[in-house]
Amino acid sequence: MKAPFATALAIAIGLLVLLGYFVPMPLLLNLRTILLGWAVILVAVATVVGVINLARVHWNKATRKEGRDIYSAVFLVAFLLTIAAGAVLGPTSPDFQQVVLSIQVPAESSLMALLAIVLAYTSLRLLQRRNGILAILFVFSAVIFLFLASGLLAGADSISPFKEIISILNRLPVAGSRGILLGIALGSLVAGLRILMGVDRPYRG
């Protein structure tokens, strides 16, 4: 086994944190709080390092002699202005939050519109390659939900027969999102158990 000390340390810390949630002992609770605090600090430091690396990459693209990227320069200017505004006004300032939301909401809306187009195109490609029942159900559900989200049936929810059908269809994405969350939770649990047992060792580098 490569890096046995790191493996033993990771398993021991994981077990201590896990026992702190199930065994009501003051010592385990204090250790869990301390270890989780260290983890939060390390995540924050890793985030800062990632932001600095992102800024460095765009700086190199914006200042190179040949093939300069104008979008990298725009990114750096917006990045510096955001940091300056957040430092002067504060992250809880209503004006600062309004500026951030006025940029974030259109960007997220554009990404969601692009996702809808990609979903429609993928459904058509899937139907061309595979003509099974699952492909047909995927294409049918994609078309139905895109049609419902378009707002064309805004007045149909007042009609009694269509009201119940639209209500049922609108609840289906919630069930799908819960299924995705359950899958993520189960995947995280399995990944954590594999790390605790030493099967996976992502900390080896």
What's the per-residue H, E or C state across the chain? CCCHHHHHHHHHHHHHHHHHHHCCCHHHHHHHHHHHHHHHHHHHHHHHHHHHHHHHHHHHHHHCCCCCCHHHHHHHHHHHHHHHHHHHHCCCCHHHHHHHHHHHHHHHHHHHHHHHHHHHHHHHHHHHHCCCHHHHHHHHHHHHHHHHHCCCCCCHHHCHHHHHHHHHHHHHHHHHHHHHHHHHHHHHHHHHHHHHCCCCCHHHC
Is residue 164's pLDDT more than 80?
no
In a domain, 29, yes or no: yes
Residue 5 lies in a domain: yes
pLDDT at 152 over 70: no
In a domain, 58, yes or no: yes
Pairwise pLDDT comparison (80 vs 10), residue with the higher score: 80
The model's pTM is 0.59
Q: Which residues contact 204 (CB under 8 A, 6 or more apart)?
A: 2, 3, 6
What domain range includes position 64? Answer: 1-89
Q: In degrees to the nearest 10, what's the CA dihedral of 123, 127, 133, 135?
A: -30
Is residue 141 situated within a structural domain?
A: no
User: What CA–CA distance (Å, rounded) separates 15 from 96?
Assistant: 42
Mean pLDDT for 80-108 is 84
| Distance separating alpha carbons of residues 18 and 186, to the nearest angstrom | 16
Residue 161 has pLDDT above 80, yes or no: no
pLDDT at residue 175, rounded to an integer = 73
pLDDT at 138: 74
- 79 within domain boundaries: yes
Q: Predicted confidence band at 40 (pLDDT cuts at 50, 70, 90)?
A: very high
Query: How many domains are there within the chain?
Result: 1
C-alpha angle with apex 83: 78 to 85, nearest 5 degrees? 90
Give the N- to C-terminal CA distance of the chain in Å, as an integer. Answer: 14
Residue 171 within a domain: no
Residue 158: predicted pLDDT: 63
